[in-house]
Amino acid sequence: MVFVIGHRGAKAYEPENTLRSLARALTFGVDAVEVDVRACKDGALVVIHDETVDRTTNGKGKVKDLTLNQLKRLDAGMGEKIPLLSEVLDFVKGKSMLLIEIKEKGIEDRVVKEVIDRDMLGDVVFISFYHTSIAKVKDLAPKSKTGIIFTCEPVDPADLAVKAKAEVLLPSYMTLTEHVVKKAHEKGLMVYTWVLNKPEEIIAALELGVDGFASDKPDLAVKYAKKQRTLLTW
C-alpha cells in the first residue's frame, strides 16, 4: 500500500498550510497531510513554510519578528489565517495522519508537547532537514515516528537516517534512485519522496518501490496510488 501525503494540504488548489487547504486534501482521501511549523516572536508555534510572510500572505516581515496577534491579522489567501500548530492538530485529529516538518531548531520540545498533550503521538510523523532535531524528538518521545529530509544524496542517506534514529527517509524526487530506495529498505526504513505533481513522476517513483509520496495535487496522487494498489491485487 502506498502512503499518499497532501503537501501543505492541497497546495495546488488552496492557500498552502491553511485549514482550508488541509480540508481540501482530506476530501480526496489522502492518508496524511503535511505542514511546516516554526515559532513567532512571542513563541507561539505557527504553521507556515517560509521564514517570512511575504510570499504567502498580504504582509511583510520575518515570522520570528512578528507576534501571534500580528500574524493572525494577515490574510494567508482566500481569507484564511495562518493557523497555530494546535489548531492544525485539533483539525486533523481522527481524520488522517499528520507529517510535521520542523523548520527551525530549538522548538522540538514544544512541538512534541503539543502532540503528546492531544494523545496524537501515534498519528504524527516528525520530519526535518535538521537531522539533529529529529534525533532530539526521538530522545523526547522514544515512541515517536520520525523522518529525515534531504535534497542531495549524501554518502549514505540511509545511514544518516539510522543515526538520527528515524524510521523514514524523505528524498526529494530529484535525488530518488533505485539505490537510495534499496539501501533504505535494507536498513528497515520507509521511503517517502516529494513533491510529485505529474503522472509520469508518480509512476516512476512507484516503480522504484517508494512507500509513499507527497503531492500538491492530492486528487492526482490518490488516483495513481489506487491504480497501483489495483495492480497489486491481480
Choosing from 7, 131, 179, 185, which is the catalytic residue? 7
Q: Which CA distances in Å does 8 have to 144, 161, 207?
A: 21, 23, 25
Cβ atoms within 10 A of the Cβ of 2, count?
22
Crossing angle of the two packed helices 19-27 and 85-92, in degrees rounded to 10: 20
Give 31: exposed, middle or buried? Use CB within 10 Å, 0-12, 13-18, 19+: middle
For residues 127 and 218, give the distance between their C-alpha atoms in angstroms, rounded to a whole number: 20
7 is catalytic: yes
49 is catalytic: yes
Choosing from 49, 131, 179, 185, which is the catalytic residue? 49
| Lookup: cell for 103 | 523548520
Provide the annotated active-site residues: 7, 49
